[in-house]
Amino acid sequence: SYVLTQPPSVSVAPGQTARITCGGNSIGSKNVHWYQQKPGQAPVLVVYDNSDRPSGIPERFSGSNSGNTATLTINRVEAGDEADYYCQVWDSSINHWVFGGGTKLTVL
Amino acid sequence: EVQLLESGGTLVQPGGSLRLSCAASGFTFRSYAMSWVRQAPGKGLEWVSTIARGDRTYYADSVRGRFTISRDNSETTLYLQMNSLRADDTAVYYCARDIKVNCAGDCPPDYWGQGTLVTISS
């Protein structure tokens, strides 16, 4: 089955740029989606189809996808961005959703 | 306003059964694929099942043959029938709605409920 690999943790100072990666075999050929989840809350979709943002998501959140790596970029990081972030793809070969293991973003 | 409200989570013994419900409102329920996603305590997100366009259903390998997803469009409610429950089914179960109408199962969910806790223990 398709595997998505995320770093367990990323740390960044306020105002800096955070980059969270999601690795997968030829992931550039798939649509990647990203979710933010804060403790005790449901996930929130922050980027879909590699680089689109749902309404209400700040422009500070952006995504890219090429080759074997997709990246969620958060510009001008704020304390409120501290959360777990998950990437997701649809594995069309077996009609399954696949989530990455999640990355804990810490704002120093 | 889109709302998804899960219910039915409780403590169940191993081998038991449980049915979760997700009451939907604020959108044309029948036009959207719906999914269940779970999260074990302290763990990441795990996709469970999706009911898509034409009522096609998809299941994670870990639940296929034990869980059944269904929907009642007249009641705007999504269900998850869970049988032969195991300790590793313990999790918060979220229902979620696709971001676009009439998806074939491959559209990401953009609205999520707050979840219902299922605990499997003797």
What value does the mean pLDDT of chain B take?
A: 96
Cα pseudo-dihedral A53, B5, B18, A94, rounded to 10: -20
List, for residues A49-60, the tens digit of each pLDDT value. 999 999 999 999
In this structure, what is the dihedral angle of CA atoms A31, B112, A45, B30, given to the nearest 10 degrees?
Answer: 50
pLDDT at B103: 84
* pLDDT tops 90 at residue A63: yes
Residues of A in contact with B94 (CB under 8 A): 42-43
HSE-up (13 A, CA, CB side) for residue B55: 9
* Predicted confidence band of residue B106 (pLDDT cuts 50, 70, 90): confident
CA distance B45 to chain A (A): 7
Dihedral pair phi/psi, residue A55, rounded to 5°: -60, 140
**Cα distance between residue A64 and residue A90, in whole Å:** 17
Residues of chain B with pLDDT > 70: what percent?
100
Q: What is the pLDDT of residue B102?
A: 84
Q: pLDDT for B48-66, tens place per residue? A: 999 988 889 999 999 999 9
- What's the pLDDT score for residue A6? 98
Contacts B61 to A, Cβ<8 Å: 1, 96
CB contact under 8 A, A90 and B105: yes
Structure tokens at B37: 């996603």
What does the pLDDT average to over A73-101? 96
What's the confidence (pLDDT) of residue B54?
83
3-state helix, strand, coil in chain B (%, to 5): 5, 50, 45
Residue of chain A with shortest Cα separation from B114: A42
Express each pLDDT in B80-96 by its tens digit: 999 999 999 999 999 99
Cβ contacts of A86 on chain B, cutoff 8 Å: 44-45
pLDDT value at residue B105: 81
| Residue with token string 């594995």 | A91
